[in-house]
Amino acid sequence: MIEFEWPWIFLLLPLPFLARRLLPRLKETQQAALRVPFLDDFSDQASTRQSTKQQSIMLLAAFAIWILLLLAAARPQWVGAPIDLPVSGRDLMMAIDLSGSMETKDFVLNNKTIDRLTATKVVASDFIQRRQGDRIGLILFGDRAYVQTPLTFDRKTVTTLLLEAALGLAGQRTAIGDAIGLTVKRLQKNPETQRVLILMTDGASNAGEIEPLTAADLAAKAHLKIYTIGIGADEIFRRSFFGMQRVNPSSDLDEKMLQAIANKTGGRYFRARNTEELEEIYAMLDKLEPVEQDAQSFRPTLALFYWPLGLALLITMVVTAARLGKSA
């Protein structure tokens, strides 16, 4: 249906008639300081030079222009049918490790070896797109932690900024405690029962101002649930002077610490050794933290003011052109 945002504007509809009735008429001998050809059509002098039919047409055109201007000023808009939008009310932060070890190439995607950060971007991006109804934020950490994206419903922006994250952007080391502490600070004013952090790292905490377990205690007091993900393969083969060697690229991963953080906050710890396991973990997170379907009604609107405004301008141009043609 069509609605008007400012319907009180129509109270001005009789204003030209009141002005014509109440304002004193100019005397025949009085000369106006400024002569406007279009307005002359409504004056007593113009009525003596034009026929009654022409004057009626001009008055009708002026009245039509006045109505159209009022229509435009009242802000007409087309309001569509209500659309239900799922909103969970959950605040979900994602903390991604950008330390130097994330460049280790021990993941495979589409038969191509890729580094850990690239695998994280691919899988986490799909996860973000499925979180319709959640407010999602992004924290990146290395030597220090910082907020890349504050909490927002704009999943496209969060995905874009995640894909733009670069290795070593926050330093080469790993400040897990700072990432948790920053999340607590960001979420402390939000509803307690809907706070979730997904923390992904491939190493041990070796930087930052706060110890990870101390930060986990603060998170537990703030009712922040933390799901931790340890990323990295258990073994890869590298060519050396002595031939192929089997090495463990995840030897620095502190699984006990990540498990303790999850236990303290009521979350869970997951281990992702390859791309398939990482995808399974995020699918499991969808089940552990499902998107609630509490619908909010949204009615799309389309502004229509430019139609009456454009028509008013068109009539004004036609009247002006006719007036100029007659006087030429």
Task: With a cut of 50, say whether residue 39 has pLDDT above it.
Answer: no
Q: Is the pLDDT of residue 250 over 80?
A: no
User: Do 175 and 207 touch, CB atoms closer than 8 A?
Assistant: yes
Lowest mean pLDDT segment, chosen from 27-31, 170-174, 177-181: 27-31
Residue among 69, 67, 90 at smallest CA distance from 137: 90
pLDDT score at 240: 58
What is the model's pLDDT at position 249? Answer: 59
Please tell me which residue, 108 or 251, carries the higher pLDDT value. 108
Q: Averaged over 23-39, what is the pLDDT? A: 54
**Arithmetic mean of pLDDT, 72-79:** 88
Side chain identity at residue 198, one-letter code: I
pTM score of the predicted model: 0.60
CA distance linking residue 31 with residue 230, whole number of Å: 90
The stretch 304-318 carries a mean pLDDT of 89
Q: How many CA atoms lie within 13 A of 166 on its CB side?
A: 2
pLDDT, tens digit, 9 for 90 and up, residues 91-102? 889 999 888 888
Res 14: pLDDT:
87
What is the pLDDT confidence band of residue 192, given thresholds at 50, 70 and 90?
low
pLDDT at 259: 92
- Is the pLDDT at 38 greater than 70? The verdict is no
Give the burial string for 72-111 (b: 16+ CB within 10 Å, else e): bbbebbeeeeeeeeebbebbbbbbbbbbebbebebbeeee
Q: Specify the range with the lowest mean pLDDT, choosing from 31-40, 186-195, 261-270, 312-321.
A: 31-40
pLDDT at 162 over 70: yes
Q: What's the pLDDT at 62?
A: 85
Mean pLDDT computed over 268-291? 83
Cα 177 to chain centroid distance, Å, stands at 29
Domain ranges of the chain: 2-79+300-327, 87-296
**320: closest CA among 66, 62, 68, 73?**
62
Pairing status of strand 269-272 against strand 2-4: unpaired
- Superfamily (CATH H level) for 87-296: von Willebrand factor, type A domain (3.40.50.410)
Residue 56: pLDDT band with limits 50, 70, 90: confident
Q: Which of 84-93, 122-131, 206-215, 272-281 has the lowest mean pLDDT?
A: 84-93
